[in-house]
Amino acid sequence: MFHALRHRNFRLLWIGLLISFSGSLMQSAAILWHVSLLVSPQRRALALGMVGLVRIAPVVFFSMLSGVAADVYDRRKLMLMTQTVMAAFAVALAILTGRGLDAVWPIYAITAASSAAGAFDLPARQALVPNLVPREHLPNALTLNTIMFQVAAVGGPAAGGIVIGQLGLAWAYALNAISFLVVIAALLMMRGVRAAASESADEGVKAEFTLHAAREGLRFVFRHPLIRSTMLLDFFATFFSSATALLPIYAQDILQVGARGYGWLYAAPAAGALVASGVMVRAVEWIERRGQILAGAVVAFGVATVGFGVSKLFWVSFLCLAATGATDTVSMVFRNLIRQLETPDRLRGRMTGVNMIFFMGGPQFGELEAGLVANWLGAVFSVVSGGIGCVIASAWIVATTPALRKYKRAGG
């Protein structure tokens, strides 16, 4: 069941990221809550949507070069640098908040800077995983990574609600800074991990840090309909169904459950995802019709979003959010698996760099879109229309991509 954890380097990375992600997701929830407290109720929806914009702008700007960096340089050392930089930004946010920060622009600035570091971290991290386990254990490793992320996504925001309520926002940021030390230690303890450049040389092509190399990754993605369709599904589903930015409004104004209830709402998708991950870790290797399961999961994600949008009861809202997490996890596992299996190792960093625009751009641009629509037409209309848009866009992508509909497990 946990075959990939038998490999020491992967096990170190998995444990380190579990702690680090918990802190990072605590900080993500804290930032939204912090911004909501610093602006007037009339500006709240737009201000929350702006968080998504400042997170995604650096990702779009650096995505291609960061992907090349992950294919050229030692992926482990690159992660050491990015994790250290993100820890420093968390410290800065904690210090400013502790000194009585009363404006949103420093939060936006630090969030953007940290996101820029994260833009270089993610391609290196995702491209590193296939180098830590044998190919036959890669589906298990990717599913375990999903479990790890969802455990962190449950614990981080839920703990964040408690920390914010009992100790204050500065402590949420400080604890995130501390959490980075664990993954840094894990990376330092790894042994025998080959650098990305040597991997590329093994395949007869040595990658270089050039714009030509970046364009090569872009061409690869858009010449492969199967990989391209998984990215489009990711983008449109999360763009239309980004309810996260509006959770403070639902917690404060619609459901009236306060900071602690907000923490549980923020963690609900991860709770559902954790349940789905427990099923997927056993099922992923034998599920045959992977393309059809992926498509159905994305449509169900949109339906669950509509359910959350119309709910006025906390427990119904929690269950609908949990359903979004469960369905997103199923689709996420198959999206990642398809991309990793169908991409040569020498291009994995660049493929992930392109993918960042889609899978990070969807939620972040979606948060901005959700904030704008909520500001004009109300939070409920924003969430419900987004869920409907997700269903329509997903159906269109599946209908126009035969390779996705027909995709099956090798040998299936």
| Nearest one of 22, 74, 32, 75 to 52, comparing CA atoms | 32
Q: How large is the C-alpha radius of gyration of the chain? A: 20
Residue 210 included in any domain: no
Contact 327, 298 (CB under 8 A): yes
pLDDT at residue 207, rounded to an integer: 57
Cα(299)–Cα(303) distance, integer angstroms:
7
Q: What is the pLDDT of residues 219-272, one digit of tens each?
A: 888 888 888 888 998 888 878 777 777 888 888 888 888 878 887 887 788 788
Q: Structurally, how many domains does the chain consist of?
A: 1
Cα(391)–Cα(320) distance, integer angstroms:
16
Cα(321)–Cα(146) distance, integer angstroms:
17
Contacts of 98 (CB under 8 A, 6+ apart): 170
pLDDT along the chain (412 residues), means of 10: 84 94 92 90 81 84 83 88 96 95 93 94 88 82 82 81 89 96 94 59 54 76 86 84 78 83 83 83 74 88 92 91 90 85 80 81 76 84 90 89 79 50
| Nearest one of 392, 341, 356 to 224, comparing CA atoms | 341
Neighbours of 345 (CB within 10 A): 16
Which residue range is the domain that position 109 belongs to? 3-192+221-405
pLDDT at residue 209, rounded to an integer: 65
Residue 198 included in any domain: no
| Nearest one of 185, 170, 195 to 84, comparing CA atoms | 185
Q: What is the pLDDT of residues 178-187, one digit of tens each?
A: 999 999 999 9
Residue 410 included in any domain: no
Q: Measuring CA to CA, how many Å separate 143 from each of 1, 13, 124, 319?
A: 10, 14, 18, 23
Neighbours of 44 (CB within 10 A): 23
Q: What is the pLDDT of residues 126-181, one digit of tens each?
A: 889 888 988 778 878 888 887 888 788 778 888 888 898 889 999 999 999 999 99
Residue 295 included in any domain: yes
Residue 216 included in any domain: no
Cα(365)–Cα(382) distance, integer angstroms:
14
Burial of 223 (0-12, 13-18, 19+ CB in 10 A): exposed
pLDDT at residue 84, rounded to an integer: 97
DSSP characters for 78-137?
HHHHHHHHHHHHHHHHHHHHHTT---SHHHHHHHHHHHHHHHHHHHHHHHHGGGTS-GGG
- One-letter amino acid of 406: K
pLDDT at residue 208, rounded to an integer: 63
Residue 138 included in any domain: yes
Residue 203 included in any domain: no
pLDDT at residue 173, rounded to an integer: 96
pLDDT at residue 200, rounded to an integer: 46
pLDDT at residue 197, rounded to an integer: 47
Cα(305)–Cα(319) distance, integer angstroms:
11
What CATH number is attached to the domain comprising 277? 1.20.1250.20
Residue 246 included in any domain: yes
pLDDT at residue 198, rounded to an integer: 42
